[in-house]
Structure 1
Amino acid sequence: MQFYNVKSVEETLAIIKQHVAPINATVTLPLPEARGHVLAEDIIAPEDVPGFDRSTVDGYAVKAQDTYGSSESTPQFLEVVGEIEMGEEVTQRLQGGQAMAIPTGGMLPPGSDSVIMVEYCENMDGLLNTYRQVAPMENVIQKGEDIRQGDKLLAKGTRLRAQELGALASLGITEVTVYRPIRVGYLSSGDEIVPFQTKRLQVGQVRDINQLTIAALVEEWGGEVILGGIVPDEYETFKWTAQRLFEQVDFLVLSGGSSVGAKDYTTEVIQSLGDPGVLVHGVSIKPGKPTIFSMAGNKPVLGLPGHPASAMLIFLLFGQTAMGRLQGETEHNIPRRIEARITQNIASSPGRSDYIRVRLVEREGEWWAEPVLGKSGLISTLVASDGVVEIASVKEGVRQGEWVPVLLLR
């Protein structure tokens, strides 16, 4: 079978986004277990954060106007009328000409509107000398300045990272409703593939690396993995195993056998799973051209190349996109990117997206991408890489020193 329906990277991503819809089943999880999951509802702030005006420095709570004109040579003088303790409510109102000692995070007393840092004043037996003036609300976080009651804190479709969990915890939210984790089935094929636990290889055998790398990425992105094992290059066995696994999962991933060899049955097996069938067979990308994307009913199926480096890159690009859509994620950037300067000229073929493995080196405050040379199927070059430089299909290459997008692998 020859490649057909070859698409660009951009076209393939658009096809995935067009055809893959969210799974609407939800679960309610305790907040500590929700990291990596996607919100199934908007979060409206039930209270203000902080719940009171608080100091951002150690110093003295004052009325700003009482410090106007202060300098080293002509300080203003304020009466120190108390000391605020952490965690206590302050009810004593500050009058004009008065100050109260306050720690970082302490509650401002009523009547005060700013804090002068301890470095710019001096307490001399209850008389505070101020050596610089402060503006209203200087060194103060106001009530509700961080999060305001009634505002939408997080939108439905937001993936929960550490910072989102922290914001939810600040509001006293202890559980959230999220889309249930999607189930991703993974199946390797090939007469030469053996379990990675195999101690002694026979001539021509290859350990199944992709099972580990793809499963690790799925779990990192909040999914659950169901492993289908390894099937030989025999059509009926391959088809039966794939069908059984397909019935258990939301997204099926097959590795190996997506090329054009006489015993590569992946395309036929994928097509047999259901309509509309194969939508992409071949992507104009290097490495990773023998990539298949299909829809069987409402379930996506992705056929990966067998080479570990190619399989991982393709899954980063297209597998993560499909997972994000299934999980209901609204803002899905794939994968995390940075900008770096390339250390040497790299030629590229127009009409094909090239992905060059690189290590990142910092030079004078800038990131530089240094190509990791070697054939695309080498595992060692992937281990030595921090990311891959993306050379778009419209370009004929990049020049030394040019800024380039780097897709991070770490």
Structure 2
Amino acid sequence: MPTPERTASTDVRMRGFTQRAEVPTALAWIDAHTPLLPAESVAVDEATGRVLLQEVIAPIAVPEFDRAAMDGYALRGGETTGAGEYNPLEFPIAGHAWPGRPFEGEVPAGAAIRIMTGAPVPHGLDAVVPAEYASEQDGRLAITRAVAPGQHVGQVGEDIARGSTALATGRRLRPQDAGLVASLGLAQLQVVRRPRVRLLVTGNEVRAPGTPKGPSEIYDANSVTLHGLVARDGGLLESHQRLGDDPQIIAQALAAPGADVVLISGGSSVGAEDHAPRLLAELGELAIHGIAMRPSSPAGMGRIGDTLVFLLPGNPVSCLCAYDFFAGRAIRLLGGRPADWPYPRTRATVARKIVSQVGRVDYVRVKIGADGVEPLALSGASVLSSTTRADGFVIAPAESEGFGPGTDVTVHLYECL
């Protein structure tokens, strides 16, 4: 893994960055410090969306008995040969079978059983004639269609064989996966523990939405954005604190136990009140501060003990970008999810040039129109509305000067998979 430039001993407030880490270096640091979290047991009806840590071995077969796949009449398929519209065959009806109430006893040769979908097929019978090809009168059945042995019958283990692997380790569980587990009679599953995430917001000027504010104060948009992103990536919000700019209060919130990941929004740059990088260096390790990308160049990361700390810029678009590139990746990896973005992708042609600069990664918000992809904003890290007006974003790599008209690019769409 590339060794990141250490800036822990350097206070960059009011001085600026002398150098910035490359994005691949930051990603490599994250990947090296995000071990899979341990298991926890959850109820099967709360397991959707969780990542399976222990494979599910079927303790029973599904179904455990031969069952009717149709409403109709169970009989021996070999005895229906020759049945047709002009040659109905008749059988005495020896009883009936319902789901949960099977027919008891032996069925005589040449007889049939009235049966409903899901009911056990009586021993010795091997087929079901659907009700629409049968008629019943005075205890006798007439059928107008032959059925082969096994037809319209669900066989033992047809869905899941006993002892087979029903679900493999590492699977992110969908509703139907949880339902399959329930069909095996299992009430609990071993899943990866959700990463506990502490959200810290700095800035004396920041106020909670819905509360009064002064003319020079702003409402806290980043908390709401980050709250949704953390939930999207499988994190569990441990706490959410608005701290102002008091270094002692920020230090206490950073160092408190109980979180796997700490996100600190604001105070990550080079201003006089940007205390977070210095405090992280004093309390633990400031591994990276300043990244060659736009926006989000003041982003940083490090550790306090086993807790990962991410410095997210206060400008809303920079905050979103830094989270998606770095903090979100860590949360996803800790929780057993894929590292890559959970955004759907599409290929499209550039209609108007996307400008970038060699040596940095550019996160470019774009619209997709009838003529192709157009950049919506190349700067304006505080203009959050650019992300709501955009269809998605394009990444211009560090070695690129952008993309000219007619170039095919990958667009990451602002939608969640």
Q: Normalising by the residue count of structure 2, what TM-score does the alignment of the two structures yield? A: 0.75
Match of 2:176 in 1: 163
For residues 311 and 251 of structure 2, the distance between their equivalents in structure 1, rounded to whole angstroms, comes to 16
Q: Which amino acid aligns with 1:281?
A: G
Aligned length: 390
Match of 1:244 in 2: 255
Q: CA deviation at 1:383?
A: 4.6
Q: CA deviation at 1:253?
A: 0.7
- The change in CA–CA distance for 1:377 and 1:102 in structure 2 (over 3 A counts) is farther
Pick the aligned partner of 1:2 from 12, 17, 25: 17
Contact 1:20 1:299 in 2 (8 A): no
For residues 346 and 113 of structure 1, the distance between their equivalents in structure 2, rounded to whole angstroms, comes to 67
What secondary structure, in the 3-state scheme, does the structure 2 residue paired with 1:83 have? strand
Q: CA deviation at 1:384?
A: 5.7
Alignment of 1:9-408 (within 5 A): 12-24=26-38, 26-65=39-78, 77=89, 79=91, 81=93, 82-92=95-105, 98-119=111-132, 121-125=133-137, 126-131=140-145, 137-203=150-216, 205-219=217-231, 221-232=234-245, 236-237=247-248, 240-245=251-256, 247-261=257-271, 263-275=273-285, 277-279=286-288, 281-282=290-291, 284=293, 287-327=295-335, 329=336, 331-332=337-338, 334-340=340-346, 342=348, 345=351, 347-348=353-354, 349=356, 352=361, 354=363, 356=365, 373=376, 377-383=382-388, 388-391=392-395, 393=397, 396=403, 404-406=411-413, 408=415
Q: CA deviation at 1:69?
A: 6.7
Q: Deviations over 1:222-242 (max 9, x none)?
A: 51321232332x6x4465244
- The change in CA–CA distance for 1:293 and 1:128 in structure 2 (over 3 A counts) is farther
Contact 1:279 1:295 in 2 (8 A): no
Contact 1:310 1:377 in 2 (8 A): yes
- The change in CA–CA distance for 1:399 and 1:169 in structure 2 (over 3 A counts) is farther
Q: Which amino acid aligns with 2:323?
A: F
What secondary structure, in the 3-state scheme, does the structure 2 residue paired with 1:311 have? helix
Matched residues, percent identical? Answer: 27
- The change in CA–CA distance for 1:298 and 1:176 in structure 2 (over 3 A counts) is same
For residues 344 and 135 of structure 2, the distance between their equivalents in structure 1, rounded to whole angstroms, comes to 49
Q: CA deviation at 1:129?
A: 2.6
Q: Deviations over 1:147-199 (max 9, x none)?
A: 33222334444444433332332222223444544321111123432233432
- The change in CA–CA distance for 1:265 and 1:49 in structure 2 (over 3 A counts) is same
For residues 287 and 256 of structure 1, the distance between their equivalents in structure 2, rounded to whole angstroms, comes to 14
Larger Cα-atom Rg: 2
- The change in CA–CA distance for 1:89 and 1:200 in structure 2 (over 3 A counts) is same
Contact 2:346 2:413 in 1 (8 A): yes
Contact 1:78 1:128 in 2 (8 A): yes
For residues 63 and 211 of structure 2, the distance between their equivalents in structure 1, rounded to whole angstroms, comes to 57
- The change in CA–CA distance for 1:212 and 1:405 in structure 2 (over 3 A counts) is closer
For residues 70 and 343 of structure 1, the distance between their equivalents in structure 2, rounded to whole angstroms, comes to 63
Contact 1:39 1:155 in 2 (8 A): yes
Q: Normalising by the residue count of structure 1, what TM-score does the alignment of the two structures yield? A: 0.76
- The change in CA–CA distance for 1:70 and 1:226 in structure 2 (over 3 A counts) is same
Q: Which amino acid aligns with 2:227?
A: A
For residues 273 and 251 of structure 2, the distance between their equivalents in structure 1, rounded to whole angstroms, comes to 16
For residues 108 and 372 of structure 2, the distance between their equivalents in structure 1, rounded to whole angstroms, comes to 60
What secondary structure, in the 3-state scheme, does the structure 1 residue paired with 2:323 have? helix
Q: Which amino acid aligns with 1:254?
A: I
- The change in CA–CA distance for 1:381 and 1:134 in structure 2 (over 3 A counts) is farther
RMSD between aligned alpha carbons?
4.1
Contact 1:389 1:405 in 2 (8 A): yes
For residues 204 and 321 of structure 2, the distance between their equivalents in structure 1, rounded to whole angstroms, comes to 23
Contact 2:364 2:375 in 1 (8 A): no
Q: Deviations over 1:377-407 (max 9, x none)?
A: 434454566x634546378378699885535
For residues 22 and 406 of structure 1, the distance between their equivalents in structure 2, rounded to whole angstroms, comes to 28
Q: CA deviation at 1:207?
A: 1.1
Q: Deviations over 1:246-299 (max 9, x none)?
A: x34221111123345454343333333323x32463253x55444323234432
Contact 2:67 2:120 in 1 (8 A): yes
